Structure 1
Amino acid sequence: MEDYKREFIDFMVESNVLKFGEFTLKSGRKSPFFMNAGAYVTGYQLKKLGEFYARAIHDNFGDDFDVLFGPAYKGIPLSVVTAVAFHDLYGKEVKYCSDRKEAKDHGADKGNLLGYQLADGDRVVMVEDVTTSGKSIDETYPIITGQADIEVVGLMVSLNRMEVGREGVKAAIDEVSDRYGFPTASIVNMREVTEHLYNREVAGRVVIDDELKAAIDAYYETYGAKA
């Protein structure tokens, strides 16, 4: 595992973004872990988050793209901080773009998009916090492809939960790739998270002990993606 992935796992725990215990998800599943990207709230955290996204995008998709698109609402700051980090780390100028939940009907920037207005020929990387069902992509993909003749280079999320999506076989992030025909990737996945944190201290405490590891294993016996 690359060093920046280990650093990112520790960063999620230290930022209180990745939590372990017992959580009821929107789907009704009882999960032994939960990720809330809304807990990144400080300037330092947002700067570091953008850098992790930029590194993962560079590793997986290269730098031959023009726009970072983040679905509203959490994708808005993600696209901004990643665009800044990509410039700082790789000297590449990329634009940010997000959708509006409600189209603006006045002013010079009226329409469905916030930030850069997409144009024919743009190559776009989409950024999200985590994909659990692909619903946000289903909502925003028609919007951005309807604005201009663009190409989606790929989708980057911070954490791949590696549990079955709506079709009940593959992970949600892989279902998105199959459905729309562009590659998907994550900074880290839950297998890497578990391997890195098992019986290891972060911020003075063991994050995943034997009991929690057993709970995670049992969860994936039921909900783990088969492909």
Structure 2
Amino acid sequence: MSVGVAGASDQDRLAQDFVQFSVDSGVLRFGEFKTKAGRMSPYFFNSGLFDDGVKLGRLAEFYARRLLGSGIEFDMIFGPAYKGIPLGAAVAVELARLGRNVPFAYNRKEAKDHGEGGSLVGAPLQGRVLIVDDVMSAGTAARESIALIKAAGAVPHAVALALDRQEKATENGVDVNHSAVQYVRNQLGLQVCAIARLEDLLQYLATHDSGGLGAHHERVLAYRQRYGVDEGAE
């Protein structure tokens, strides 16, 4: 929780709670990590480490609370293979528990040629579809999901993420002045809802010195200053 942050809204507190949960779960770690873009990042978010029932259930609660507070309207959930599959399923279960029951579907990486066949599993894709994933690095997975959803005759409407890194995307190995989230929002026309953003992580580090976390603030801030996107482009 955002202890000591005067006037923090419920959504701000939700983000701070989520960062704390991610740190406690070992999902959010600090050190030196090489990103897909070849950058050396001072932090790493590995959602695969939400790896038991309690953690996955708590994660789904964060997604559901953020979604319900966002005002985003959607008719069903789509979980892109692979990480989006358990995430989407867990979020669908939590939303149902909170009284918002919606259909859920996911895709296979390779289409089956037996049984029900095809690459899509679950409820038929229809209406306004919410894509649930963990983070968005280049927007490639989102574009693939959008193509699948459109091909099925449904409307790709929004994306829910655990963490928005708020950093420049790369195209052909070159930094561009927008993030993957900004690209999906501004160029592809989808709403984007993230439980927390890099600025929430920085706020958390600035107000938590226990366990040596405060020492990471300057390194994460320097990374943000070097690779962060212009928020005016949002």
Confirm or deny a common fold (TM above 0.5): yes
> Secondary structure at the residue paired with 1:130?
coil
1:199 to partner: Cα distance: 4.7
Matched letter for residue 163 of structure 2: L
1:65 to partner: Cα distance: 2.2
1:32-57 deviation per Cα after TM superposition (whole angstroms, max 9, x unaligned): 00100000111000111111111111
> Secondary structure at the residue paired with 1:126?
strand
Matched length: 217
Matched letter for residue 42 of structure 2: P
Does 2:86 match 1:77? yes
| Separation (CA, whole Å) in 1 of partners of 2:119 and 2:223 | 39
> Secondary structure at the residue paired with 1:208?
helix
1:153 to partner: Cα distance: 2.7
Tell me which moved more, 47-56 or 173-182.
173-182
Matched letter for residue 112 of structure 2: K
| Separation (CA, whole Å) in 2 of partners of 1:33 and 1:197 | 12
Q: What RMSD in Å do the two structures reach over aligned CA positions?
A: 1.5
Q: Which runs of 5+ in 1 are unaligned?
A: none
1:179 to partner: Cα distance: 2.3
Matched letter for residue 40 of structure 2: K
Does 2:7 match 1:6? no
Percent identity reads 35
Equivalent residue number for residue 35 of structure 1: 45
Matched letter for residue 125 of structure 1: L
Which aligned runs of 4 or more in structure 1 are off by greater than 3 angstroms? none
| Separation (CA, whole Å) in 2 of partners of 1:208 and 1:94 | 41
Q: Which runs of 5+ in 2 are unaligned?
A: 1-7
Equivalent residue number for residue 140 of structure 1: 145
Aligned counterparts, 1:1-227, within 5 A: 1=8, 2=10, 3-62=13-72, 64-89=73-98, 91-107=99-115, 109-119=116-126, 122-148=127-153, 150-166=154-170, 168-201=176-209, 205-209=211-215, 212-226=216-230, 227=233
| Separation (CA, whole Å) in 2 of partners of 1:19 and 1:35 | 7
TM-score (norm 1): 0.90
| Separation (CA, whole Å) in 1 of partners of 2:119 and 2:187 | 23
> Secondary structure at the residue paired with 2:133?
strand
